[in-house]
């Protein structure tokens, strides 16, 4: 595998990771809007996000 291929592969991995995080963020936001009474723990469990991540998103939506 050439250096170029290795750099390209690394970039693809970073892009996939960023894409997954964005998808989880979008799902968390939708769930917080649809089910505002659900706890951060419940949403985190269903989405696979951390409780801290859900809490950060919830606090951002309140502003």
pLDDT tens by residue, 27-46? 999 999 999 999 999 999 99
* Predicted pLDDT of residue 29: 97
pTM summary value = 0.80
Q: What is the pLDDT of residue 40?
A: 97
For residue 56, what pLDDT is reported?
A: 96
Of the pLDDT bands very low, low, confident and very high (cuts 50, 70, 90), residue 23 is very high
Please report, for residues 4, 34, 56, 59, 60, the alpha-carbon distance to residue 46 in angstroms, rounded to integers and kept in the order given.
39, 14, 16, 19, 20
**Residue 12: its pLDDT value, please?**
86
Pick from 21, 28, 22, 61: nearest CA to 44: 28
């Amino acid at each position: 595998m050439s250096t170029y291929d290795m750099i390209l592969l690394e970039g693809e991995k970073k892009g996939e990771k960023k894409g997954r995080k964005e998808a989880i963020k979008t799902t968390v936001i939708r769930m917080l809007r649809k089910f505002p009474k659900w706890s951060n723990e419940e949403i985190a469990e269903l989405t696979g996000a951390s409780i801290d991540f859900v809490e950060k998103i919830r606090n951002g939506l309140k502003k």
